[in-house]
Amino acid sequence: MRKLLFILVCVMTAGCATTARYEAQLDSWIGSSEESLVAGWGVPDKEYRLNDGKKAVEYIQRDTIQTGGYAYTRPQTTYETGTIGDEPYSSTSTTYVKEVEPVKKYKLYCSTSFIIGTDGKVVSWQHEGNNCVAH
């Protein structure tokens, strides 16, 4: 359990930094042509024609990661004290207890949309999801 908490803290801390870098990458597309965007990102997953003549293009990224699914042993020490006759004694013994970390799956998602102006240039972007990070 301690290992999982450590991993989650690392991921959450790294996630903040990489989201900022992702947004910096998105900012670099402002003013680029739609053709350049498609050349860099590929064909959009969805396209929408807006009433004001602009166009929205959306890129969707889905992934699943898995943690756990392994077994390990941890030491468990037992301490004993007592007397045998009139003589005191103390002893320790260590046994190894098998622990199983259950399989956990996490769904990752990021939807990134760009607004293309009537002149064919990227004018804005937005993203949502738990995996909008720079790679």
Whether 68 contacts 79, CB under 8 Å: no
* Residue 49 belongs to a domain: yes
Residue 51 pLDDT > 50: yes
54-113 pLDDT, tens digit per residue, is 999 999 999 999 999 999 999 999 999 999 889 999 999 999 999 999 999 999 999 999
Question: Which residue range forms the structural domain that includes residue 16?
Answer: 2-68+103-129
Residue 1 pLDDT > 70: no
* Residue 74 belongs to a domain: no
* Residue 24 belongs to a domain: yes
Q: How many domains does the chain have?
A: 1
* Residue 82 belongs to a domain: no
* Residue 27 belongs to a domain: yes
| pLDDT on residue 12 | 53
* Residue 94 belongs to a domain: no
* Residue 75 belongs to a domain: no
Tell me, rounded to whole angstroms, the distance of Cα 41 from its chain centroid.
21
Q: Which CATH number covers residue 19? A: 3.30.1450
Residue 7 pLDDT > 60: no
Tell me, rounded to whole angstroms, the distance of Cα 61 from its chain centroid.
12
pTM to 2 decimals?
Answer: 0.68
| pLDDT on residue 15 | 44
Residue 43 pLDDT > 90: yes
* Residue 28 belongs to a domain: yes
Tell me, rounded to whole angstroms, the distance of Cα 118 from its chain centroid.
36
